[in-house]
A and B are shown apart, each in its own frame.
Chain A
Amino acid sequence: MTLEIILQAIVAGLMMGLIYALIAAGLSLIFGLMGIVNFAHGEHLMLSMFTSFWLWSLLGLDPLFSVPITILLMAVCGVLTHYLLIRYILEAKMLIQICATFGLSIFIRSVAQLLWTPDYRNVQNPLIEGRIELGTIYVGQPQLFASLICLLAFIGLYWFVTKTQTGLALQATAQDRHAAEILGIPSDKMFALGWAIGLGCVAVAGSMMMNYFAVFTDVGINFALFAFVAVALGGFGSIIGCLYAGIIIGLVESLGGLLIDPSFKLLYVFAIYLLVVIYRPQGLFGRY
């Protein structure tokens, strides 16, 4: 086991971690804003991947160029989700909220299977392909691009939420919806915006992953699982926490798999998760 191999695993883990982080950020944003856990997050990721795939397959648009369109479509999907479903359950009991988004996930998955069959689909010969060799370390270009763009999107999201007026309004709504309304911030619009941004994050991750991952109707489930872990690990509602948590998950998965035994990759991730939950229940950067 040489240093290069370990470095290779670190690079791979980092790249994967940044993707997990962005997916988790969308989830965390929606939760932080209105206290609703989006159990359909994996399905939204699947929808983004399919959107990216169809734009390639029908219009010949490479996933790299179709990112803005995918973001736009997913943002519309987010706004629709809010106005058609979430709006009605905002004040409802927790169980009803869980059932609503869980039901939405089953609905989306079934409709996707009905429309597109359960086949596996890949973008063939995407613009970004192959690898960069840094000495003896191989960096897959699709993964590298995906992680860099996810990082950029993450920084953009962080800047938007902490530095712009609308972002601050979002935070205000998250802290106290009624107080924010008294100050003239329309909470309903803020929630819709939160959904649009949340699904926009997923859209970026999904379309970049289309460069090397096959899309099928159940693809989102495992990414969503890691996203939930990342949100809990980083602290509910904390966006920066998602970044660190995503990277931790990616690294633990990759290094644990290489150094100990790949069969127990998930075990290492969940062991870390349990440790954090036991010793710091609010998560690494959590407020609650």
Chain B
Amino acid sequence: MRKTIISILAFLSLMCAPAIGYAQDVKIGVIYPLTGSSAQIGKDAVAAVNTALDIINNKHDIPGMPLAINEGLAGLDGAKVSIVVGDHTGKPDVGVSETEKMLNKDGVHAMYGAYFSSVVAAASTVTERAGIPFVNGDSASPKLTSRGLKYFFRVGPHDGMFTQLMFEFIQDFNKKNNANLNTLGILHEDTLWGSDSGSTQNKMAKEQGFKVIEKISYKASTTTLTSEVQRLKLKDPDVLLPSQYTADAFLFLNTAKELDYNPKLLIAQNAGYVDPTFISTLGDKAEGVISRSPFNTDLAKTIPMIGTINEIFKKHSGGRDLSDVPARAFTGFMALAVAINNAGSTDPEKIREALVNLDIPGEALIVPYRGIKFGPDGQNEAVRGVLMQVQNGKYCTVYPYELAACDLVYPMPTWDQK
């Protein structure tokens, strides 16, 4: 009996030996919030990473998509890419311990994640110390790329860039319609992302001649937003700029309805406002809301690849459609994979070099970025975003005007009209 077992084991090890010697697989650590109040977003992001893996590791015929045509990474003799997934639950300390575990126990070659800016900020210091690249596709706090880290790269845009887009839009709107939208209200939740977004908006507004007449921060897990809405209603700024996660965005709009608070324009900093359930859950309460986004499904008209990727994504997400965060997560992960392929090695130093020299054209992407090319601070300098407005129960791109699929509805319909 023992002989049989030994001979089976020997046979199995022989079977595996060529595979081990043939190509070293690439292992990437992926952390997202998989439990807690943002778990669905994390799950969608992991589904997007799995979509990217599907495309990298299997043969696909998607014209323009890098790494699709052959199995595995050509630069590493067809090595397959695998991931180790961790749940950071939205907490920086959990993100740090997950990252440490992946570096020390799983031996990952690079880290990827993590949606929460606060978690990315903490986890990327761990990778920096270890000299392992950390690539991020979907966190928007401007501070992340101003810390002078050598191994941190952000593929997506940050809130400063998006805020610039919002202000350009308001200025263009004022010029085009001879309007005078000048006063702003800023409402933000108080984790790193929300406060950074709020203070960036506050600072940039002053520089560009806008007047911030109310700036409110609150806890995202709050049970009521009544006094916040009351204060906004009292000051009544021309444009309201909220930075909110999902539950608080719902609560805010419900409270605004009860208290009949009607801003003329509401331009949200993404997040809760682009949660896949946002429109379906709120129904006509969402009508007229504007959000910035690096992605919108109506871009499929100008970027045909989106349709194909969406079909693959649906297989991994249990039928959910591609939305903003997964699109950014997918793009960021592909950028990392292309860099590893270019490096032709799993040596972290070589991967870092390949990231520094990375240059992906806009045509190879499913998002409207002009391309992927990192600046000295690790920020992708070729990003571009759009503003989209909820019209007839759907997000429709309204700015920049050359990418617009719909005309802007102004002012936003009041609660009595909805």
User: Residues of A with Cβ closer than 8 Å to B?
Assistant: 1, 5, 8-9, 12-13, 16, 110, 113, 117-122, 124-125, 131, 138, 140-143, 212-214, 216-219, 221-223, 226, 253-258, 262-263, 265-266
Closest A residue to B225 using CB positions: A262
Q: How far does the alpha carbon of A30 sit from the alpha carbon of B43 in the complex, in Å?
A: 37
Q: Do residues A262 and B218 form an inter-chain contact, with CB atoms below 8 A? A: yes
Given the known interface contacts A223-B223, A258-B230, A265-B227, the answer about A140 and B259 at a Cβ–Cβ threshold of 8 Å is yes
**Pick the contact of A258 from B38, B190, B227, B281 — CB < 8 Å?**
B227
Q: For the complex, what is the distance from the CA of A117 to the CA of B259, rounded to whole Å? A: 31
Question: Are the CB atoms of B35 and A140 closer together than 8 Å?
Answer: no
B residues 285-340 in Cβ contact with A at 8 Å: none
Contact B231 A222 (CB under 8 A): no
Give Cα A125–Cα B38 distance, bound, in whole angstroms: 25
Question: Do A219 and B247 touch (CB < 8 A)?
Answer: yes
Check B146 for interface membership: any CB of A closer than 8 A: no
Q: Is the CB of B259 within 8 A of A118?
A: no
The stretch of B62-70, B93-101, B250-258 that contacts the partner chain = B250-258
Q: Give the shortest distance, in Å, between A206 (CB) and chain B (any CB).
A: 13
Give me 18 A-to-B residue pairs in the complex whose CB atoms sit less than 8 angstroms apart, sorted by A's number. Answer: A5-B234, A9-B227, A16-B223, A16-B226, A118-B37, A118-B38, A122-B281, A124-B281, A131-B257, A138-B258, A140-B258, A214-B247, A218-B37, A218-B221, A253-B224, A262-B231, A263-B190, A263-B216
In the bound complex, do residue A118 and residue B228 qualify as a contact, i.e. CB atoms below 8 Å apart?
no
* A120, A142, A226, most chain B CB atoms within 10 A: A120
Given contacts A257-B227, A258-B231, 12 further A-B contacts (CB under 8 A): A117-B43, A118-B39, A118-B43, A119-B40, A121-B277, A138-B260, A143-B258, A217-B39, A222-B222, A223-B223, A255-B227, A262-B217
Interface residues on B, range: 35 or more
User: Who on chain A is nearest to B272 by CB?
Assistant: A120
Contact of B40 among A117, A131, A141, A253 (CB under 8 A): A117
Interface centre among B226, B230, B246, B254 (most CB of A within 10 A): B226
Q: Contact between B227 and A131 (Cβ–Cβ < 8 Å)? A: no
Known contacts A113-B35, A223-B223, A266-B219; A125/B283 CB under 8 A: yes
Task: Tell whether, in the assembled complex, residue A214 and residue B40 are in contact, meaning their CB atoms are under 8 Å apart.
Answer: no
Residues 1-56 (chain B) with a chain A CB within 8 angstroms:
35-40, 43
Q: Chain A CB within 10 Å — which of B37, B40, B224 has the most?
A: B224
Expressed in whole angstroms, the minimum distance between the Cβ of B279 and any Cβ of chain A is 11
Q: Do A262 and B247 form a contact, CB below 8 Å, given A125-B283, A212-B258? A: no
> Is B282 located at the chain interface by the 8 A CB criterion?
yes
B226: A residues at CB distance < 8 A:
9, 12-13, 16, 254, 257
Instruction: Please state if A120 and B35 are interface contacts (CB–CB under 8 Å).
Output: no
Instruction: Please state if A12 and B35 are interface contacts (CB–CB under 8 Å).
Output: no
Q: How many A-B residue pairs have CB under 8 A?
A: 112
Tell me whether B159 is interfacial, beta carbon within 8 Å.
no
B40 contact set on A, CB distance < 8 A: 117-120
Given contacts A120-B281, A131-B258, A263-B218, contact A216 B37 (CB under 8 A): yes
In the complex formed, the residue of A with least CB distance to B283 is A124
Chain B 267-282 per-residue mask, 1 if CB under 8 angstroms from chain A, else 0 = 0000000010100011
Judge whether A12 and B250 touch: CB under 8 Å.
no
Residues of chain B contacted by A262 (CB below 8 angstroms) = 216-218, 227-228, 231
A258 to B216: give the CA distance in the assembly, Å.
Answer: 11
CB distance from A217 to the nearest CB of B (A): 8
Q: Residues of A contacting B260 with CB < 8 Å?
A: 131, 138
Is A16 within 8 A of B224, CB to CB? Answer: yes
B250 contacts A122, C-beta separation under 8 Å: yes
Choose among B219, B227, B247 the residue that contacts A254 (Cβ–Cβ < 8 A). Answer: B227
Distance A142 CA – B39 CA, assembled complex (angstroms): 28
Query: How far, in whole Å, are A121 and B222 apart by their CA atoms in the complex?
Result: 17
Q: Which one of A122, A218, A226 contacts B282 once the chains associate, using CB atoms below 8 Å?
A: A122
Partner of B218, one of A122, A131, A221, A265: A265
* Chain B 167-197 interface residues, beta-carbon cutoff 8 Å to A: 190
Q: Which chain A positions have C-beta within 8 A of B259? A: 8, 131, 138, 140
**Is A218 a contact partner of B36 (Cβ separation < 8 A)?**
yes
Chain A residues in 8 Å Cβ range of B230: 5, 8-9, 12, 258
Once the chains are docked, how many angstroms separate the CA of A26 from the CA of B215? 37
Which residues of B sit under 8 angstroms from A13, Cβ to Cβ? 226
Instruction: Give the chain B neighbours of A119 by CB distance below 8 A.
Output: 40, 277
Minimum CB–CB distance for B271 against chain A, Å: 13
Q: How far is the CA of A217 from the CA of B10 in the complex (A)?
A: 49
Shortest Cβ distance from residue B169 to the other chain A in the assembled complex, whole angstroms: 27
* A257 and B228 form a contact (CB under 8 A): yes
A265 & B221 in contact (Cβ 8 Å cutoff) = no
Residue of A nearest to B230 (CB): A258
A223-B223, A253-B224 known; A120 vs B258 contact (CB < 8 Å): no
On whether the beta carbons of B217 and A263 are closer than 8 Å, the reply is yes
Known: A263-B190, A263-B218. A113 touches B39 (CB 8 A): yes
How far is B33's CA from A113's CA once the two chains are assembled, in angstroms?
13
- Distance (whole angstroms) from the CB of B98 to the closest CB of chain A: 18
Contacts of A122 in B (CB 8 A): 250, 281-282
Bitwise interface map of B from 325 to 366 toward A, beta carbon under 8 Å scored 1, else 0: 000000000000000000000000000000000000000000
CB atoms of B227 and A221 under 8 A apart: no
Chain A residue contacts of B251, Cβ below 8 A: 213-214
Q: How far is the CA of A118 from the CA of B257 in the complex (A)?
A: 25
Contact B247–A216 (Cβ < 8 Å): yes
A47 CB, nearest partner CB in chain B, Å: 17
The smallest C-beta distance from A89 to any residue of chain B, in angstroms, reads 26
CA distance A264 to B282 in the complex (A): 28
CB neighbours of B216 from chain A (8 A) = 262-263
Using Cβ atoms and an 8 Å threshold, which residues of chain A touch B219?
A: 265-266
Please give the distance in Å from A114's CB to the nearest CB on chain B: 10
B36 near A226 (CB under 8 angstroms)? no
Question: Which residues from chain B contact A12 at a C-beta distance below 8 Å?
Answer: 224, 226-227, 230
Distance in Å: Cβ of B218 to nearest Cβ of chain A: 6
Contact residues in A for B222 (Cβ distance below 8 Å)? 222, 265
Residues of the A chain whose Cβ atoms lie less than 8 Å from the Cβ of B221: 218, 221-222
